Structure 1
Amino acid sequence: MQVRLIALAALASCGASHALTPAQIDAARAAGTLKEVYVAGASAQRLFVGAWFQEQCKPTTFDVFFNGTGAAPSGSNHRAYSCELNKKVGNWAAGTKVLFVKRDQGGSTQGVVPVASGAAQDFMAVDGTCTATGKPSPATDILNAGFACNNVFSRLADAGVSDVEPALLNKPVNLLAPAVAVATTSLDVGTINQTVMAVAVNKKAYRALQEAQGLIGAGAALDDDPAKQPSLPRTFVSAAFSGKLSGGTADRRGWNVVIPASVDADVENKQVNVCRRNVGSGTQASFNAEFLNNDCSNVAGNKLAVLGQTTGTTNSTVVAPTTTAAALGTQWWNLGSGSGNVETCLGSTVENAAGTAYAIGVLSRENTPTPTGTTTDKGYRFVKLDGIAPTRDNAKVGAYGFVYAATMQWNKTTLTDTAVKSFLSQMRSNAGRAASLSIADVDTQEGVLAPPTTYSGPYAALTDAVTLKFASRVARNTSASCSPLAIVK
């Protein structure tokens, strides 16, 4: 990875390393020299956030913390990063010791509702109780945690991040029960980036789709050549997530819509396994708007219900599935509190189920099933939509439309630390610019765009290679995810 190479080169030239470990964090905290920042919400943004923070750090002081225990903590709910700054950020000078803690659990709503109402949340405790994982310290990659932390404590978030603007998360379909909207006038809200969202399937479904579409031969193994990436119709995706597809039904409308019996003789009985996020997720909210028109219309007949969820003006109740993940059956869905839960559902729960089981899900494109520079394979793959691949290059020019603006917000009353606010303001203003994205982790780069507001002049007049790589010429209306995506530059 680009970030790994930069960090390794810096380590080679700097001699002894001085990572900001749990013991050093405890010491700096006791001495009053540690600056701490706590951000909640939007697990789809966790790699983007982590990559930006790493850019601000002296490589020899950078450390990574995941929630969990042992040599391979999950990091599914919380992640954190520590270092000495390599330059001035906000009011903090180069050399300042900073701990940045990110809560992913619960998704985007946790970056909106508790922040707006001034309610405390659980955050991962990064201190001497954290244990070494055996991975490098200092860290060279935001995906390799040097320490596992298993405790939490309660405090106010300094800021929240959401995959869509707070107003959309106040819609009934996106609210946790009892679906009572919160006043967002207390929030200072601003766009932080544009995020490329994508549909994914487990590897067994991916291989079957490749064969069905003539991209590989009969019985051949899955082929990761980008030219052989299969496609799903948007209509099929909408139907799957709204509960209109299932295996084993009288009319056999399910996976057999896209996979013929010549590829899978049992396809008419294949269970439709859906790996989706729970209520309050910004990823799910963007999907609801994009594919179901929910909740972008006040007219019930103009939107589709969300599979596994009963929605009304006064409640938003999650309905438990009646079956389990399997190859054969009707339909099953899993509700995940973070992106990592969807990855596990697709690539482990369903991929490893007995028989040839198929699953579909949605993730931000900054996630990757095969992280660059590793031997990891998470067991799922992204698919095209109506023949268009979910790539940064397709999204930035409007060829691929599943793109939404993420926001960062803080409470104008409860965030009283001016230095923390200055740090966050600089992050919000600069993290989504092309110059910042260009030195982030190469896998993260595929899923984020620099909004049109981050560069001057028309898109057609751009000549700088870095800006052209990330600059988006498309946008929705400001803080209006339900508005159409259009070319604006």
Structure 2
Amino acid sequence: MKIKALVAGCALAFAGMSAHAASVNLTGYTKIYLSGATAPDSFLADLANQMLDGVVEYRNRATNSSGVEISGTDYRAFVGTAKSGIPGVTAGTPIVFFKRSKGGSVWGVDPVARAQRIESLNMDDCDLTTRRCGVKGIDPGVAGHEDPSLNNGEISDFGVSDVEPRMFREPFNTENGQPELTDAERAVFENFAVNALMFGQVATNAVPATTVLSRTTYGSMLQGLIRNWEQVDGTDAGVIVCRRVNGSGTQTSYNAFYGSFPCTSAAGGAIAPAGVADSTPEVFTGNGDGSEADPFEIDPSALDGNGKPAYVVIENSGSGDVRKCLFAAQNRQSYKVRGSNDVWYRVLFNNMANPGRAIGVLSLDSYGRETSSTEGGWTFRHMDGAGVFTPSNQTSSAGATGIAPSKQNLLDGKWDFAFELSMQYRNAAVTNDVGDSIPSMNDPVNATKKAFISEFIKRAGSTTYTGNDGGTFTSVPNAYATLPTIGDYTTKPAFVTKFSRGGNSCSPMRRF
């Protein structure tokens, strides 16, 4: 699809700030920017409060399905002062730590290596009561990005991705029409395997717990090779796939696990994931222009040319959107979402006669949302068997077969749909596409930033968060395990996996 030109919208964003806008005074603060995967978001506030005193959190403005303003999850900022115990950072140093999650993992890779300006939280456009702020800047691939007079976005200091940077290859693991990194661009990275992150097969409650979901049949549904549930459990119903956009780490993980991309070439056996364009043609109503105000319409109740229920693929920007997509399919509600390249869709699940039989892939950090009143209506499923798994209490439904996505199975190497969260920063100076000269993170000017980032990476892989060890946090420890290269089998064996890919997502899991 053609990338939309959003110059008019950007001009409005710069010129028309909210009527209740105010600036957050950050004079004297060290500003540290992290962009990329949503995976660490589950423990982000915990970690920020462990490293900073007096934290005040700001988020982007968003709207719910009723058009009411709420606090978003795409952009966050934690304002505070450094606690003691961070090597290289003086206690009391004023720090504001930013996290951008919009778009997922590729935003912690490509624009970080290239030191590009990206859309960011605008701390000069905040409501100081609600602590909600606007955004600023233009992303790579969107009109106006390379004009420094238009683009006032920020540059990430480091990135996070569900897999290591080399996995983000064309044509399925890049976003906004951007080229993959060259070998020279990847060479500027210092990257670190942080922890093991589990991924799971999910399905709406309309899919019975007794349905057997093998890796091969599930992958074939994700790839559009099985388009009707008749071939899975005998039910004449169309398959609905709620997936992430290209460039997402979750999507990259499922491309590798189910399709062997980019681990092998197409000639060598890699299989392309199905995208929105692979949906049954009859579902596209022809209405809308793809803008946020007038989205393209997709009608999942349509029948194909043979009178069979349609196959539908919906691409979603974030993990929260995948959950909302599953919720809308299960509850037959109209659903509006931003897909790839800022193209918007309205999915008319409300036209369906029965709850949608939808599937998707989510990392296990989504657990606890299965019964949410706005994002629930789905469950994690066993692989190569039947059954529903509840990660919060690590239990399976009665009569379950196959392999459960349990933490113990991760630790024992039985659940291999897991990859290693990666964090990376630039170890060389870069001049970006608007002419900014950005120093290496090893430059003395970045000493405080590098010290904070190094401690952040170290703590993100610790058993404190992978095992909720040493305190009560809001994190979801059953989604992660500390890596054997980091953890201590003697004192913390319950939180350290015995198996790892060794920082290579194309390698099989092996025992350490």
Identify the TM-score tier after normalising by the shorter chain: 0.7 to 0.9
1:347 equivalent in structure 2: 327
Gaps of 5+ in 2: 1-19, 138-152, 284-297, 303-308, 333-348, 385-401, 430-437
| Alignment TM-score, normalising by the size of structure 1 | 0.74
Q: How many residues align?
A: 397
Q: 1:90 to 1:446 in 2, by over 3 A?
A: same
- 1:152 maps to which of 128, 136, 146: 136
Match for 1:401 among 394, 409, 416? Answer: 416
Q: Which amino acid aligns with 2:421?
A: A
In the alignment, what sits opposite 2:190? 188
Q: 1:10-409, aligned counterparts within 5 Å?
A: 26-27=24-25, 29-30=26-27, 32=28, 34-58=29-53, 61-69=54-62, 73=70, 75-127=72-124, 129-133=126-130, 147-153=131-137, 154-176=153-175, 177=177, 179-182=179-182, 183-205=185-207, 209-210=208-209, 212=210, 232-246=213-227, 254-260=228-234, 267-268=235-236, 270-308=237-275, 322=281, 323=283, 324=298, 326=300, 329-352=309-332, 353=349, 354=352, 355-370=354-369, 378-386=376-384, 387-409=402-424
Separation of aligned partners in 2, 1:385 and 1:339: 21
Residue 435 of structure 1 aligns to which amino acid in structure 2? Answer: T
| C-alpha deviation, 1:433, in angstroms | 1.2
Identity of aligned residues (%): 26
Which amino acid in 1 is paired with 2:201?
V
Task: Tell me how far 1:340 sits from its aligned partner.
Answer: 1.5
- C-alpha change, 1:25 and 1:392, in structure 2 (3 Å) is farther
The one-letter code matched in structure 2 to 1:392 is: K
Checking the alignment, whether the CA contact within 8 Å between 2:240 and 2:311 is kept in structure 1 is: yes
Give the distance between the partners of 1:441 and 1:432, measured in 2 at CA: 15
| Counterparts of 1:409 and 1:357, CA distance in 2 | 39
Are 2:498 and 1:470 aligned?
A: no
How far apart, in 1, do the equivalents of 2:71 and 2:206 lie? 24
- Separation of aligned partners in 1, 2:278 and 2:355: 26
2:79 is paired with a residue whose SS is strand
Q: 1:100 to 1:333 in 2, by over 3 A?
A: same
Q: Is the 8 A contact 1:199 1:362 kept in 2?
A: yes
- Indicate how the Cα distance of structure 1 residues 82 and 66 shifts in structure 2: closer, same or farther if over 3 A, else same: same
Alignment partners' CA distance in 1, 2:21 and 2:300:
46
1:424 aligns with 2:417: no
| Alignment check: 8 A CA contact 2:84 2:91 kept | yes
> Hey, which of these two has a bigger chunk of helix by percent?
1
The question of whether the paired residues in 1 share the 8 Å contact of 2:407 and 2:479 is answered with: yes
Q: Which is worse superposed, 326-335 or 277-286?
A: 326-335
Counterpart residue identity of residue 454, structure 2: S
Q: Gaps (5+ residues) in structure 1? A: 1-21, 134-146, 214-230, 247-253, 261-266, 310-317
In 1, Cα distance between equivalents of 2:279 and 2:135: 29
Q: 1:93 to 1:380 in 2, by over 3 A?
A: farther
The one-letter code matched in structure 1 to 2:51 is Q
Alpha-carbon distance in 2 for matches of 1:477, 1:88: 29
Q: 1:69 to 1:476 in 2, by over 3 A?
A: closer
- Give the structure with the higher percent strand: 2
Q: CA deviation at 1:174?
A: 1.4
Superposed displacement of residue 325, structure 1:
5.6
Counterpart contact for 1:163–1:195, Cα < 8 Å:
yes
Taking the aligned partners of 1:325 and 1:303, their CA distance within structure 2 comes to: 30
1:238 deviates by 0.6
Q: Relative to structure 1, is the Cα distance of residues 109 and 243 closer, same or farther in structure 2, using a 3 angstrom cutoff?
A: same
Judge conservation of contact 2:244–2:315 (CA < 8 Å) in 1. yes
Q: Please give the secondary structure, in 2, of the residue aligned with 1:344.
A: helix
Deviations 1:12-62 (A, max 9, x none): xxxxxxxxxx999833x13x1x2321111112332233432232244xx23
Residue identity matched to 2:221: A
CA contact under 8 A between 2:370 and 2:378: conserved in structure 1? Answer: no
Determine the C-alpha separation between the residues in 2 that align with 1:242 and 1:278.
14
1:485 matched to 2:501? The reply is no
Alpha-carbon separation, structure 1, partners of 2:96 and 2:370: 25
Secondary structure (helix, strand or coil) at the match of 1:232 reads coil
Contact 2:127–2:133 (Cα < 8 Å) also in 1: yes
Find the residue that maps to 1:204 and give its secondary structure: coil
> Deviation digits for residues 260-309 of structure 1, max 9, x if unmatched?
4xxxxxx31x1211111111111111111111112211352512121028
Q: Report what 2:146 is aligned to.
A: none
Between 295-304 and 280-289, the greater mean CA deviation after superposition: 295-304
Following the alignment from structure 2 to structure 1, what is the Cα–Cα distance between the partners of residues 23 and 411? 40
Q: In the alignment, residue 54 of structure 1 is paired with which amino acid?
A: N
TM-score by length of 2: 0.71
Q: Contact 2:203/2:360 (CA < 8 Å) preserved in 1?
A: yes
Distance in 2 (CA, whole Å) between partners of 1:369 and 1:271 is: 27
Distance 1:124 1:89 in 2: 26
Q: Tell me how far 1:258 sits from its aligned partner.
A: 3.7
Instruction: Give the aligned partner of residue 306 of structure 2.
Output: none
Conservation of the 8 A alpha-carbon contact between 1:197 and 1:364: yes
Say whether 1:451 aligns with 2:483. yes
* Distance in 2 of aligned mates of 1:41 and 1:100: 14
Map Cα deviations across residues 74-109 of structure 1 (whole Å, 9 max, x no partner).
524222323334433243333333322111112111
> 1:203–1:380: 8 Å Cα contact kept in structure 2?
yes
Secondary structure in 1 matching 2:39: helix
Stretch moving more, 46-55 or 405-414? 46-55
Give the aligned residue type for 2:328.
Answer: S
What is the deviation of 1:351?
Answer: 3.4
Instruction: Quote the residue 2:342 is aligned against.
Output: none
Inter-partner Cα distance in structure 2 for 1:94 and 1:24: 28
1:348-391 CA distances to partner (integer Å, 9 max, x unpaired)?
Answer: 2553333221111111111124389x977633221111222212
SS in 1 for 2:206: helix
Quote the offset at 1:120 in angstroms. Answer: 1.1
Query: Does the residue aligned with 1:201 lie in a helix, a strand or coil?
Result: strand
- What is the CA RMSD across the aligned residues, in angstroms? 2.8
